[in-house]
Structure 1
Amino acid sequence: MPDHAVVSPEVWLEARKAFLQREKELTHLRDAINRERMELPWVRVEKEYVFDTEQGPQTLASLFDGRSQLIVYHFMLGPGWEAGCPGCSFLIDHADGALPHLNHHDVTFTAVSRAPLPEIQAYKRRMEWKFPWVSSFGSDFNFDFHVSFTKQQIAEGITYNYEQHPGRDGGETELPGMSAFFRDADGTVFHTFSSYARGIEDWIGTLMIFDRAPLGRNESSTMSFLKRHDEYETKPKAAACCHGE
């Protein structure tokens, strides 16, 4: 059993009610930040990006699939990779169930990776996902949205999450993020928002559940527990602390 304070129900209730005020502060702050996000300026997308999709080559405008809003998840799967990033795979596990709600509220969701389409399709089949996933292989899209980098760029220094990172040897050539776009009635596309690193952590509903569990995320390092969903043991091991082992 963890070393933790154990109190009477009355003391617990007082502590919980006090903490509730902090939770409400966070909720109100999130509401305010969401309003401010919607007020940010937009940028017209001038470049004609073309993606390889299951329906053939498509432009960024055609990825909207008849809707006015598009959310792109920049999935870390580079050319020649045997499998997608475990963290991206964890996040995207939450996508399929959201699709009907997004689509019926005028939002299209798609993942974009720089791997060629056959490599994307193979990993998608392995993971049994249904969401749209397209390839930007041969396009500047990933580079322009600061989620893909050449080894030379990494050595010289890159910009990621709106910050300068000094040059170094090695390092990931693909990094995660999301970008949002709006398409108006005449087909003009605007880039409205992008977020990187932990900026979209709240997309991962499982982490939000862990945060309310008695031991929280129970990590030795960031998401140290994580595996792709088909790599876990068939039967989870019981934690030693819960059985006095």
Structure 2
Amino acid sequence: MMTSANKAATNGQPAMLTPPVVSAEEWEAARQVLLVKEKAHTRARDALAAERRRMPWMEVTKTYAFETPSGKASLLDLFQGRRQLILYRAFFEPDVFGWPDHACRGCSMVADQVAHVAHLNARDTTLVFASRAPQPDIARLKARMGWNIPWVTITDSFDADFGVGEWHGTNVFYRDGKRIFRTYLIKSRGDEQMGSTWNYLDITPLGRQEVWEDSPPGYPQTPTYKWWNWHDSYEAGAEPDKKWVEVSDAGEIALRTPGAQ
């Protein structure tokens, strides 16, 4: 039987109109109804990522220069030899609220949520933050806040040219030899989803690179889960650990079981 869980007003605050309190059976029934919608949402998100992987590319022909802890670098250098580059424009510079002690509060929240970049690197992807603050200020900020994200200084019109001059945003680039292509841009509220390895990979042209994904023919794909590793244990070309293969095989079977999320 349903009972009310409404809270009485306390400390001068209005009462909360909370959902009803139900039995375990009723709760599970309600969860199953919502689960149908959640699975549909997951499938729709996967379909959107598949469409994103088929977006046209724009070649970048203009030369850009950045300051890094080791000196000047080009946009090509920022790839660090990998095929994909995710570049987030973070606001840390004079006239930004919080300067010089802090970066923009929103950009700082994004930085706080960034997963360990080793997982992105394992999928041939580099993540870089870029601001107009000088490198000594960026180094000080990273040390204070405990951030290890590669963070460069913009020295030219890069931010204005790529739609992030007046607001934060994330551009994605693909490298084919020395040719660079812009493949995607997400900004404003879209940036709220950024931070996890999965959301970053979902906005890249190659995606998560797992066999279940709907990607164009010839795109790199490896068995689901098998590439996952501890962030301090990735080795180029290393074979998946046999024990982890067994565990991940069991996980795939469980996901294919009717009723699994």
Amino acid at match of 2:108: S
Match of 2:111 in 1: 92
What displacement does 1:204 show? 4.4
What displacement does 1:146 show? 2.2
Match of 2:156 in 1: 139
What displacement does 1:33 show? 0.2
Of 69, 82, 87, the match for 1:72:
87
Match of 1:120 in 2: 138
Match of 2:43 in 1: 28
| TM-score normalised to structure 1 length | 0.69
| TM-score normalised to structure 2 length | 0.65
Of the structure 1 ranges 123-132 and 74-83, higher mean CA displacement relative to structure 2 is found in 74-83
Of 189, 192, 214, the match for 2:180:
189
Amino acid at match of 2:133: A
Of 53, 72, 75, the match for 1:38:
53
Of 53, 60, 63, the match for 2:78:
63
CA distance in 2, matches of 1:105, 1:148: 29
Residue deviations 1:161-194 (CA, integer Å, cap 9, x gap):
xxxxxxxxxxxxxx21100001102x11111101
Amino acid at match of 1:129: W
Going from structure 1 to structure 2, the CA distance change for 1:79 and 1:117 (only over 3 Å counts) comes to: farther
Q: Provide structure 1 residue ranges, at least 5 long, that are not aligned to the other structure.
A: 150-174, 206-245
Amino acid at match of 2:37: R
Amino acid at match of 2:160: F
Amino acid at match of 2:34: F
Match of 1:8 in 2: 23
Paired residue secondary structure (1:90): helix
CA RMSD of aligned residues (A): 1.7
Identity of aligned residues (%): 40
What displacement does 1:145 show? 1.6
Residue deviations 1:131-184 (CA, integer Å, cap 9, x gap):
100000x310111122224xxxxxxxxxxxxxxxxxxxxxxxxx2110000110
Asked whether the equivalents of residues 74 and 112 of structure 1 are also in contact (C-alpha less than 8 Å), the reply is yes
- Paired residues in the alignment total 178
Match of 1:199 in 2: 190
Moved over 3 A (4+): none
The reply on whether 1:130 has 2:148 as its aligned counterpart is: yes
Amino acid at match of 2:109: F
Amino acid at match of 2:74: T
Give the structure with higher Rg (CA): 2
Residue deviations 1:36-79 (CA, integer Å, cap 9, x gap):
00100000001100000011000000100011110011111123
Amino acid at match of 2:190: G
Asked whether the equivalents of residues 94 and 204 of structure 1 are also in contact (C-alpha less than 8 Å), the reply is yes
